Amino acid sequence: MDITRLPSWQQLESLAPQMRARHLRELFAGDPRRGLRYSLELPEFLFDYSKNLVDDEVFVKLLQLARDTGLEDWRTDLFSGAPINRTEGRPVLHPALRGGLPNPVSLDGAPVQDLVETELGRLKEFVNLLHNGAVTGYTGRRITDVVNLGVGGSHLGPEMVIEALRAHRSDEVRVHFVSNVDGAQLADVLARLDVETTLFAVSSKTFTTAETMTNARSALRWLGDLAPRTQLLRQHFVAVTASPEKAQAFGIDPGRVFRFWDWVGGRFSLWSAIGLPIAIALGFERFRELLDGAASMDRHFREAPLEENAPVLMALLSVWYCTFMGYPAHAILPYEQALHRLPAYLQQAEMESNGKSTTRAGEEAGYATGPLIWGMLGINGQHAFYQYLHQSPEVVPADFIGSVTPGHELEGHHEILLANMFAQSQALMNGVDREQVKAELASKGLSEKEIEQLAPYKVHRGSRPSNSILLRQLNPRSLGALIALYEHKIFTQGVVLQIYSFDQWGVELGKGLAAALQPQLESGELRSQDASTARLIDYYQRVRNGAAAPETAG
């Protein structure tokens, strides 16, 4: 299907320049009920999408586009286990990991829900043993620290969730993360740990990722040689993987290999055994609550009509901005310290899913398929890059995320925090025009001349769109719902824009080249490299071999 020929697509194309010429202030002035009409109250949060450059006509066309591109059928296929990840020939069943399927699904004769529950049961048992001190190292001392060795989807989700729910942490066993092959990270973590009481969780869907396997081998060496290698592997290692045979070949006890399946994408895997660090850090019950929260969002996504469906609306707004309005970036701005890893997590979730230019028909898309996702804690961003958000010629739509109930008891802080969150989205929306700036400067007693000189710099054009997601409270349930909200948003965007969201071919090329380059770095023997890469390798070799620095630049 060439979606650019759909009437809904073409109407949106013609509406975009008209909407760019309008101002959010004007849209609000024309509809006193806009805040109410363009917001949804779900059990865990308020989703306010009123500060977006849209009107009813745009929404009607966006929803039409969703229907024209078969969103409802794709959604049915997702939840029924159809092989919608066609380039890899697999279904996409992460909702099954949290009990989010409406009907039982079997794959190769095995009921998926049974597989999931069996593995969750094993996870629970292991976490309980760990918390009870029944998991011991080679000298018989109880394990006190678990180091997760994993990267990408085998790292970002668990780390983000544990940081977000620190307030619920159980301190029985400490959890650490090592993702980088830069030995500095592993060395730094290990320097604080005791070989006798440390357990490594090798988390890798494929169990071939070079960074993770290198760290696993170094971890094994660090354990020393006071016990046989087989014993060290048995007592100090667990694996989480969709390739259990590879984990066993590495030497990890099959009883300590926790598995997930190829129908779980890495970036959607925190609900699977990849969530082991979450269950260790927060307790298994909290992990369950997280899953339940996500399942409640699965239900909402499945059942709510498209016009009242939070992930669908979020996705359509994103399509509107990135594809039709020409805004290529999107900022994630949490106003909640605990959510400080959310932007990094969402970068992988969204950009690895939709950062693609080939359509499902195998053709060049010819339109923008997904924004650059970036961001950081809103309050810190205010003192760093918000200047760009307010006055750059580029418009960057943003998600403001906060919660009503603070996660601490310090007086006064939370009102300041949320006042900033609300004020920033308001400032982006309204801006300040020249007349307002002049009046303000005049009230400060500046001369006519001074006012004329300064005014242009102080004008904020405004009309910069944002969503606000206001949680009742950040807890495992609401966090589960929030993450699943974004997951389904990403899926919807991919469906509407004809993208296969669940593969990631674009990450392979560099991996292959790195594997080929590595021996050349070691040997210094250059083989058919381009002039820039040859220059880098040559410099690397010379400095490694002690070449002196030049005395002057150039």
Give the residue, chosen from 209, 323, 369, 493, that forms a contact with ligand G6P under the rule CB under 6 A.
209
Which residue from 222, 227, 201 is spatially nearest to 140, judged by alpha carbons?
Answer: 227
- Using CB under 6 A, which residues numbered 385 to 424 contact ligand G6P? none
Locus of tokens 């400490």: 174
- Using CB under 6 A, which residues numbered 470 to 529 contact ligand G6P? 504, 507
Q: Can residue 215 be called a binding residue for ligand G6P (CB under 6 A)?
A: no
Give the residue, chosen from 75, 176, 205, 256, that forms a contact with ligand G6P under the rule CB under 6 A.
205
Stretch that binds ligand G6P, among 44-52, 129-137, 201-209, 403-411 (CB under 6 A): 201-209
Which pair of structure tokens corresponds to residue 333?
A: 């701005």
| Radius of gyration from C-alpha coordinates of the chain | 26
Half-sphere exposure of 228 toward its Cβ, with a 13 Å CA cutoff? 4
Q: Can residue 179 be called a binding residue for ligand G6P (CB under 6 A)?
A: no
DSSP string, 346-365: HIIIIIHHH---B-TTSSB-
C-alpha 131/C-alpha 317 separation (Å) is: 45
Q: Which is nearer to ligand G6P, 262 or 433 (CB)?
A: 262
Give the residue, chosen from 153, 158, 334, 480, that forms a contact with ligand G6P under the rule CB under 6 A.
153
Q: Can residue 219 be called a binding residue for ligand G6P (CB under 6 A)?
A: no
Q: Can residue 204 be called a binding residue for ligand G6P (CB under 6 A)?
A: yes
CA dihedral 21, 22, 23, 25 (to 10 degrees): 160
Contacts with ligand G6P, 362-381, as mask; x by CB under 6 A = --------------------
CA dihedral 485, 486, 489, 491 (to 10 degrees): -110
Q: Is 511 a catalytic residue?
A: yes
Please give the helix or strand (H or E) that residue 424 lies within, else none.
helix 413-430
Give the residue, chosen from 113, 136, 206, 391, that forms a contact with ligand G6P under the rule CB under 6 A.
206
Q: Is 94 a catalytic residue?
A: no
Give the residue, chosen from 8, 212, 235, 272, that forms a contact with ligand G6P under the rule CB under 6 A.
212
DSSP string, 302-331: HHS-GGG-HHHHHHHHHHIIIIII---EEE
Q: Which is nearer to ligand G6P, 246 or 288 (CB)?
A: 246
DSSP string, 447-463: -HHHHHHHHHHH-B---
Q: Can residue 152 be called a binding residue for ligand G6P (CB under 6 A)?
A: yes
3-state secondary structure of 119: helix
Q: Can residue 275 be called a binding residue for ligand G6P (CB under 6 A)?
A: no
Minimum Å gap between C-beta 203 and ligand G6P is: 7
Query: CB within 8 A of 56, min separation 6: which ones?
Result: none
Q: Is 551 a catalytic residue?
A: no
Give the residue, chosen from 119, 196, 298, 352, that forms a contact with ligand G6P under the rule CB under 6 A.
352
Strands 106-107 and 110-111: antiparallel
Q: Which is nearer to ligand G6P, 212 or 468 (CB)?
A: 212
Positions marked catalytic: 352, 383, 511
The residues that touch ligand G6P, with contacts defined as CB under 6 A, are 151-154, 204-206, 209, 212, 266-267, 352, 504, 507
